[in-house]
């Protein structure tokens, strides 16, 4: 067996320990005589799995009691609609546009009400986070929306926007569990798990309880009403059972690693290895304003499409895979999520140095 270093933005690398454990439990989950894929989501065995996953997540993120944790389907993309459906009482909300995902959420919100662009960094291809200290937020806005870590462009909010007392909704798909967060500063935190948490198929949403009501927009499907999901502890219908099981294992792995403070330390160390090299390289350069750099997604370019392609090809041959940048940006992107070992980044940088020497410009 030989494993590659996988720099995919998502679905992405998972901890080897978790994969091994899942493999061991594949045929017979802890004496149940079945795989978790095969068992009823209403069984006692599965109930333990989902309850333990929730508790471990609560411990890791220090989630206050007045927040519900929901395991949902439909991806982050469906949640773009769930936010206005469940939160637009005044049919008005503010959006900060820092990339494609925020833009898509903004477009989706416009279907349901008045979505106002509060700030944007589109003028410089989303290479920075706009100043959010004094945004044109009005009293009638139901919430302020951000995409906290911009997976495609590699920027991250280092300080949360001043929402002037309005509820903050954050898509944290690509920075979920990468560092500690103060949940109480948000009304809703959500993310697709396939970036930094688990396999595709599940969105985890952490929602302040007072926002979970029957007062939703007319026409909201039963399944997309948060109250339906909350009243049924995410078991209104069949949940993505296996994905939740793997997420639960990742939570245990994170606890064992030392929790989110420790993950932050490791993630900062990993990102520094790559950014320091990019800052010193004559061939490669990062594309993002330094103070807004993401710890998770690192886009970079050489300045020549030909060299970019050559680099990606040779890197792949050496076992560094999925380094091609998003189709809307070009160049390269290394996603260095929790499960990417420090060694993976060190080896990538060694390879980049070697490539730079050979392709001296």
Ligand X SMILES: *Cc1c(COP(=O)(O)O)cnc(C)c1O
**Burial of residue 164, with CB atoms counted within 10 A of its CB: 0-12 exposed, 13-18 middle, 19 or more buried:** middle
Q: Is 101 tagged catalytic?
A: yes
Q: Which residues of 306-339 are buried (b: 16+ CB within 10 A; e: fewer)?
A: ebbeebbeebeeeebbbbbbbeebebbbbbbbbb
Active-site choice (156, 166, 195, 225): 195
Q: How far is CA 96 from CA 62, 117, 345, in A?
A: 27, 6, 31
Among the listed residues 12, 98, 3, 8, the one whose alpha carbon sits nearest the alpha carbon of residue 325: 8
Active-site choice (56, 101, 142, 156): 101
Active-site choice (171, 225, 252, 292): 171
Residue 75 or 330: which CB sits closer to ligand X?
75
- Give least dist CB 195 to ligand X, A: 5
Measured distance CA(194)–CA(198) in Å, rounded: 5
Q: Which residue has the tokens 């990417």?
A: 340
Residue 46 or 191: which CB sits closer to ligand X?
191
Helix (H, G, I), strand (E, B) or coil at 242: helix
Bond into 11 cis (ω within 30):
yes
Residue 54 or 171: which CB sits closer to ligand X?
171
Q: Is 226 tagged catalytic?
A: no
- Give least dist CB 189 to ligand X, A: 12
Q: Is 215 tagged catalytic?
A: no
- Give least dist CB 102 to ligand X, A: 8
Measured distance CA(73)–CA(201) in Å, rounded: 6
Residues forming the site for ligand X (CB under 6 A): 10, 75-77, 101, 147, 151, 171, 173-174, 192, 195
- The DSSP secondary-structure symbol of 354 reads H
- Residue nearest ligand X by beta-carbon distance: 75
Residue 195 or 252: which CB sits closer to ligand X?
195
- Give least dist CB 232 to ligand X, A: 22
Active site residues: 101, 171, 195
């Amino acid at each position: 067996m030989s494993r590659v270093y996988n720099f995919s933005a998502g679905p992405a690398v998972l901890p080897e320990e978790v994969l091994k454990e899942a493999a061991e439990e594949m045929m017979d989950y802890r004496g149940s005589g079945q795989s978790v894929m095969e068992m009823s989501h209403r069984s006692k065995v599965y109930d333990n799995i989902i309850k333990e996953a929730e508790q471990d997540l609560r411990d890791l993120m220090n989630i206050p009691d007045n927040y519900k944790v929901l395991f949902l389907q439909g991806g982050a993309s469906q949640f773009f609609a769930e936010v206005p459906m469940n939160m637009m009482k005044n049919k008005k909300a503010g959006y900060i546009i820092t990339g494609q995902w925020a833009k898509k959420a903004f477009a989706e919100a416009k279907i349901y009400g008045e979505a106002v662009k509060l700030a944007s960094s589109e003028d410089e291809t989303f290479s920075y986070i706009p100043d959010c200290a004094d945004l044109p937020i009005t009293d009638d806005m139901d919430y302020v929306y951000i995409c906290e870590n911009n997976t495609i462009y590699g920027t991250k909010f280092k300080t949360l926007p001043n929402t002037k007392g309005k509820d903050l909704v954050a898509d944290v798909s690509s920075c979920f569990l990468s560092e500690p967060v103060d949940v109480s500063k948000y009304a809703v935190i959500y993310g697709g798990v396939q970036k930094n948490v688990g396999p595709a198929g599940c969105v985890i949403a952490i929602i302040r309880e007072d926002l979970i009501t029957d007062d939703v927009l007319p026409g909201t499907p039963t399944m997309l009403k948060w109250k339906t999901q909350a009243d049924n502890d995410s078991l209104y219908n069949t949940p993505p059972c296996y994905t939740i099981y793997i997420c639960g294992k990742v939570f245990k792995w994170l606890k064992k690693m030392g929790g989110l403070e420790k993950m932050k330390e490791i993630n900062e160390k990993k990102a520094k290895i790559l950014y320091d090299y990019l800052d010193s390289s004559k061939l490669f350069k990062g594309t993002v304003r330094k103070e807004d750099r993401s710890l998770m997604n690192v886009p970079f370019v050489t300045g020549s499409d030909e060299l970019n392609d050559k680099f990606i090809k040779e890197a792949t041959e050496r076992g560094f895979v999925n380094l091609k940048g998003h189709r809307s940006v070009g160049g390269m992107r290394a996603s260095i999520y929790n499960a990417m070992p420090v060694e993976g980044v060190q080896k990538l940088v060694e390879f980049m140095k070697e490539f730079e020497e050979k392709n001296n410009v």
